[in-house]
Amino acid sequence: MDKYNMNFYLAIDIGASSGRHIVGWREDGKIKTKEVYRFPNGVQERNGHLVWDVDNLLAHVQAGITAAKAGFPGIVSLSIDTWGVDYVLLRGDEEVRPVYAYRDGRTEAVIPKVHEILPFSELYAKTGCQFQPFNSVYQLYADKLTGRLDGVTDFLMIPEYLLWKLCGVKSKEYTNATTTGMVSAETGEFDPEIISALGLPQIFPRLQRPGTVLGEYDGIKCVLCATHDTASAVEGIPMVGNSPYISSGTWSLLGVKTPKPITNAASRAANYSNEGGVGYNRYQKNIMGMWLVNELQKELCMGLGYAGIVNGARESVCDALIDANAPEFLSPKSMKAAFDAATDGQLVGIGDYFRCAYRSLAESYAKALAELEANTGKQYDKLYIVGGGAKNEFLNHLTAKATGKQVIALPIEATALGNLKIQMEADQ
């Protein structure tokens, strides 16, 4: 590899628990990658609320860019993807603080008020966005009721905010916007009727598509990828044909590509979401994911590594199950206590807790996949799994057993690959 005569691209992929900078380039017809920087992320508790430290995120983003440039001269462009729904409000160029995290409970009281104005059946028919208590539409209404929207001139989702801080250009990217619960399934733009009905300010302009060049930072082009990490992940899966996928991380996102959104009553009852993809619709469902395992590990066995956790789960014979998507597991003070309450004290050893978590995830995947097949009217024989969870052979085995599908586990940085792919195509 001749570093001085090649084009390099930088994917900055930030999840709820960590972020990474990955340099990519084309070599022998394939995308090659190298991780050059990694940093921790996580919610912080301040004044009784869960918030993001966006200043720290920005500092790590910039430090990682410096590290990338040091190792790879000639970086052509960069892009940033993160989780969905969360955002930064601006008054002019001043941030409204704090920046709330989606696991904060501030929306609980306002959800019924939103549904009084716009019943969920109506919201779903308009947007096709699944119900989650943290959807941006509920967060924004909570902001309205507390006066946080007074004088607000802009709304930037987390990757858009970070890109603005880098290149000075404010953007509104389509794939991430579809996680807000405010984008029309029909037009692919913010729905003016929802915004008007809820009395939100007019800070939701036309959406930009992945591949848009925004500006520059330190001589590097800043490009919009599919800024919702799952949208980039789906774009990065080396899939033969069209099969269901699970993007397995803090959340497990199970879905399939469809030509257009599915917004009927059966889809609403199954709480499936329609979110933006790169030229297609992502018909998918949020499932709690590795959050369950990670939180149990923190509480029960911080010193026990991944192999020890899996071995303990394998050796356990406990058959207890939980509903992995139940609200009591979203942000409990004690994950162990939440498991204990849901299983009537059937879990004794550490292995029991992890076996219960893994089996419950596999069963939730099977249920969601059956709903997906019923609602799309198609049967599938394969299931692709990408992301950190794809490395877990035990969970993959349980998933294959529960779903009856051939599980193709690809322990690759699919999100970074999708991010890089979009940048490379924009550079053509």
The pLDDT, as a whole number, for residue 202 is 94
Whether 293 contacts 304, CB under 8 Å:
no
**Candidate list 150, 229, 319, 323, residue with the active-site label:** 229
Fold of 239-411: Nucleotidyltransferase; domain 5 (3.30.420)
Q: What is the CA radius of gyration of the chain?
A: 21
pLDDT at residue 64 tops 90: yes
Average pLDDT (338-360) is 97
Query: Cα dist. 225→136, 260, 363, 369, 413 in Å?
Result: 20, 21, 33, 28, 15
* Cβ contacts of 172 within 8 Å, gap of 6 or more: 156, 157, 160, 204, 205, 206, 207, 208
Note whether 3-229+416-426 and 239-411 share their fold.
Answer: yes
pLDDT averaged over the chain?
96
* Cβ contacts of 29 within 8 Å, gap of 6 or more: none
pLDDT at residue 306 tops 90: no
Q: Which CATH number fits domain 3-229+416-426: 3.40.605.10, 3.40.50.2300, 3.30.420.40, 3.10.129.10?
A: 3.30.420.40
The pLDDT, as a whole number, for residue 1 is 65
3-class state of residue 126 by DSSP: helix
Exposure b/e, 366-389, CB count within 10 A at least 16 = b = bbbbebbeebbeeebeebbbbbbb
* Residue 213 burial (10 A CB sphere; 0-12, 13-18, 19+): middle
The pLDDT tens digits of the residues spanning 185-239 come to: 999 999 999 999 999 999 999 999 999 999 999 999 999 999 999 999 999 999 9
Residue 376's φ and ψ, nearest 5 degrees, are: -90, -15
Told to judge if 352 belongs to the known catalytic residues of this protein, a careful annotator would answer no
DSSP string, 57-89: HHHHHHHHHHHHHHH-S-EEEEEEEB-SS-EEE
The pLDDT tens digits of the residues spanning 127-170 come to: 999 999 999 999 999 999 999 999 999 999 999 999 999 999 99
- What are the boundaries of each domain within the chain? 3-229+416-426, 239-411
Q: How sure is the predictor about 411, in pLDDT bands with cuts at 50, 70 and 90?
A: confident
> Count of residues for the chain?
428
Spatial separation of the C-alpha atoms in residues 339 and 112, rounded to whole Å? 28
Average pLDDT (56-72) is 98
